[in-house]
Amino acid sequence: MTNPPYIHQPVSIRRVMLTVLVALIPGIVAYVYQVGAGILVNLSIATVVALVAEAGVLWLRAKPVWVALTDGSAVVAAWLVALTLPSIVPWWLTVTAILVAIVGVKHLYGGLGQNPFNPAMAAYCTMIVAYPALMSQWPAAGHTDFLPQLHLILGGSRDIDGVTGATALDALRTGLRNSQTVNNVLNNDIFGVVGGRGWEWIALAYLVGGLFLLARRTITWHQPVGFIAGLGLIATVSWLIQPERFASPLFHLASGGAMLASFFIVTDPVSGATTPWGKFIFAFCVGLLAWLIRVFGVYPEGVAFAVLLMNLFVPLIDMKTQPAVFGYRDRKRP
């Protein structure tokens, strides 16, 4: 005989994960349209490897394989890893990144729900530290020919001329290092309306997917708003003070992984903060740190490191932001 409650909402982890995957589709479509179908190859490799790795580790840990394999969490991690890597990295780099995410970050810490770090971001950081050259070769928007991309993915000679181009963040960084002003740098045809040409549309598509997640209540407003506020605030202040040295907040929000991060990365419930204010503070600090790393750090994109750093503070943030409990909200009453 079971205990109450005897009724349950028809919800499941699988449904949550499926919703996230659906929300990623606009971004993927925009990606294919702007940058080429190479990303689909990487997504496929990542998905297959993630499922095999997940099944293998579950089997080694003597856990029920089927339930965990079909909960969709491995696929979500795989897609996020693939979307954060340059879509023309050789296949083995994607495989390594997935193994880091699934075996290293997820299962070595105890599997679903137990990992203190965001698997996709940890994989990204490992890869950029281990293979900085490969990780900085991004496909150029507009060069959507599939075969050269496939050639690169399958590990052909890295003849990358005409296929890759500097990302917006990279170009800005290099330009500023060479004592150019922001306006000078942005006066280049790799830039579009607000961010990298082509890439800004992908960012917009991620935003659309993110709004879908909000509408479905899969995520709450706290993290997206927190992240955008954190990144946007410091970018606005610095831009207002020194517009020739610092890019505009819109540029920062439309470039790199900002939109993907604000709706799909800092919203990861497992490795992120969980209280309403905690979620906001966590995401706000990630945005702040991401800007600091972008502007003053060694790497052009700082979101991944910012997320890992803030993951360390999650227990503290949660502990200090516990909401008041019913009946204890007004201390003046008897």
Which CB, 140 or 273, lies closer to other proteins? Answer: 273
Query: Residue 282 corresponds to which tokens in the numbers above?
Result: 């966590």
> Does residue number 111 form part of the binding site for other proteins (CB under 8 A)?
yes
> Does residue number 332 form part of the binding site for other proteins (CB under 8 A)?
no
d(C-alpha 334, C-alpha 78), whole Å: 54
Stretch that binds other proteins, among 3-11, 24-32, 183-191, 298-306 (CB under 8 A): 3-11
d(C-alpha 247, C-alpha 99), whole Å: 36
Q: Report, in Å, the least distance between residue 261 CB and other proteins.
A: 19
Q: Which of 189, 298, 329, 331 binds other proteins (CB under 8 A)?
A: 329
Q: Which of 112, 150, 214, 229 binds other proteins (CB under 8 A)?
A: 112
Stretch that binds other proteins, among 66-74, 184-192, 194-202, 303-311 (CB under 8 A): 66-74
> Does residue number 16 form part of the binding site for other proteins (CB under 8 A)?
yes
Q: Which of 7, 133, 241, 298 binds other proteins (CB under 8 A)?
A: 7
Judge contact between 236 and 181, C-beta under 8 A: no
> Does residue number 66 form part of the binding site for other proteins (CB under 8 A)?
no
Which CB, 161 or 330, lies closer to other proteins? Answer: 330
What HEC string does the chain produce?
A: CCCCCCCCCCCCHHHHHHHHHHHHHHHHHHHHHHHCCHHHHHHHHHHHHHHHHHHHHHHHCCCCHHHHHCCCHHHHHHHHHHHHCCCCCCHHHHHHHHHHHHHHHHHCCCCCCCCCCCHHHHHHHHHHHHCHHHHCCEECCCCCCHHHHHHHHCCCCCCCCCCEECCHHHHHHHHHHCCCCHHHHHCCCCECCCCECCHHHHHHHHHHHHHHHHHCCCCCCHHHHHHHHHHHHHHHHHHHHCCCCCCCHHHHHHCCCHHHHHHHHCCCCCCCCCCHHHHHHHHHHHHHHHHHHHHHCCCCCCHHHHHHHHHHHHHHHHHHCCCCCCCCCCCCCC
> Does residue number 269 form part of the binding site for other proteins (CB under 8 A)?
yes
Which CB, 113 or 142, lies closer to other proteins? Answer: 113
> Does residue number 275 form part of the binding site for other proteins (CB under 8 A)?
yes
> Does residue number 62 form part of the binding site for other proteins (CB under 8 A)?
no
Q: Report, in Å, the least distance between residue 15 CB and other proteins.
A: 7
Q: Report, in Å, the least distance between residue 68 CB and other proteins.
A: 8
> Does residue number 1 form part of the binding site for other proteins (CB under 8 A)?
yes
Judge contact between 271 and 118, C-beta under 8 A: yes
Stretch that binds other proteins, among 7-15, 89-97, 190-198, 229-237 (CB under 8 A): 7-15
Q: Report, in Å, the least distance between residue 296 CB and other proteins.
A: 32
Which CB, 5 or 241, lies closer to other proteins? Answer: 5
Q: Which of 136, 144, 180, 220 binds other proteins (CB under 8 A)?
A: 220
Q: Where along the sequence are the contacts to other proteins (CB under 8 A)?
A: 1-9, 11-13, 15-16, 67-68, 71, 73, 111-114, 220, 269-270, 274-275, 318, 322-330, 333-334
